């Protein structure tokens, strides 16, 4: 009987800890959205907005639909997402990694993901600062088609939903 009570207490503690951590993440996301980095993130992620040249130069083929993923080396969710990106083989994916120690996160990214950090990522961050990681932009022809941030962009399933938001436009009708 004591063993059953101990197991129930351990399970209850684990469930409460998970719920507490989820609440902390929600509070952190809300705080970042309210304070950002001096910039309202919603003003940065406007659908139809042209991407800055510092980012467009890093996209291998800007005419192809591309997932541009903004990550941080200190974001544990970003590390989990990096290992999920193998599900996007065959699609163009670019990762912008902020932070000083990016080697571990870069190593987790599949080979098909073009990853940038250091000065290149800092240049993009200066032109298009992100207030929350991960943030993902679906781009076509250098313009934002769809975006997702935070808990809306922390798994391959979330990115698949984002990917499905693109419209099929015949090649001959593109500008």
Question: At 1, is the pLDDT very low, low, confident or very high (cuts 50, 70, 90)?
Answer: confident
Is the full-model pTM beyond 0.85? no
Q: Could you tell me the residue ranges of all domains in the chain?
A: 1-35, 41-168
Q: How many CA atoms lie within 13 A of 82 on its CB side?
A: 26
* CATH architecture entry for 41-168: 3-Layer(aba) Sandwich (3.40)
pLDDT digits (tens, 9 = 90+) for 117-159: 999 999 999 999 888 899 999 999 999 999 999 889 989 999 9
Residues 6+ apart with CB under 8 A from 161: 148
pLDDT above 60 for 172: no
More confident residue, 43 or 95: 95
pLDDT digits (tens, 9 = 90+) for 59-76: 999 999 999 999 999 898
């Amino acid at each position: 009987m004591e063993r059953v009570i101990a197991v129930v207490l351990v399970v209850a503690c684990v469930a409460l800890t998970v719920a507490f951590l989820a609440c902390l993440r929600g509070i952190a996301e809300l705080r970042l959205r309210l304070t950002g980095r001096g910039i309202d993130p919603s003003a940065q992620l406007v659908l139809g907005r042209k991407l800055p040249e510092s980012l467009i130069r890093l996209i291998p083929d800007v005419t192809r639909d591309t997932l541009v993923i903004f990550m941080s080396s200190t974001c544990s969710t970003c590390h989990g997402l990096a290992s999920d990106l193998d599900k996007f083989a065959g699609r163009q994916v670019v990762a912008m990694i902020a932070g000083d120690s990016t080697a571990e996160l870069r190593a987790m990214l599949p080979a098909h993901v073009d990853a940038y950090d250091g000065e290149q990522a800092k240049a993009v961050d200066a032109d298009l600062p992100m207030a929350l990681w991960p943030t993902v932009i679906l781009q076509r022809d250098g313009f934002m088609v769809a975006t997702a941030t935070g808990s809306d962009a922390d798994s391959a399933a979330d990115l698949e939903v984002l990917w499905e938001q693109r419209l099929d436009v015949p090649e001959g009708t593109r500008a």
